[in-house]
Amino acid sequence: MDIPPATTPVVCDLTGATDTAQERLEEYRRLFAQALAGRERTDQGIRFRLRAEPGVRAWTEDLAAREKACCAFFAFEITDDGDQILWDCAVSDDDVARAVLEEFYRLPDTAGHSPAEVRDRLTGQGLAFTADPLS
């Protein structure tokens, strides 16, 4: 996995996103409700284990690409492991980036929260937004 350098800004930029923050959270909620088999912390970051059902890998790859587009400090790797898809996530060597990664790990439990709640938690961890994620 190609982890961005520590000099990568820890910023979320949704200005070019094709979806809203609410739509993105809803998509995470649906993906995890449909396919999450487990999650764990790894030496580099975190891993979501997803059931390898039809369309789940493409869905995960698309979601990871959109997340990377707005949060360049993330690194993602998606691989197959038998009947599971492994979604590995890591961040640059930065305290704020690691706090955001921890919030990402909690996403299966928090994706049903409002974008304002998520924004407030992430802002409280030090994440900067270049565009209001609620717009």
Separation of alpha carbons 70 and 11, rounded Å: 8
> pLDDT value at position 135?
44
What are the pLDDT digits (tens) for 32-81?
Answer: 999 999 999 999 999 999 999 999 999 999 999 999 999 999 999 999 99
SS3 78: strand
CATH topology of domain 21-123: Gyrase A; domain 2 (3.30.1360)
Q: What percentage of the chain reaches a pLDDT higher than 70?
A: 96
Q: Where are the domains of the chain?
A: 21-123
pLDDT at 133 over 80: no
**Which ranges in 71-114 belong to alpha helices (H)?**
95-105, 107-110
* Amino acid in position 49: R
What are the pLDDT digits (tens) for 78-97?
Answer: 999 999 999 999 999 999 99
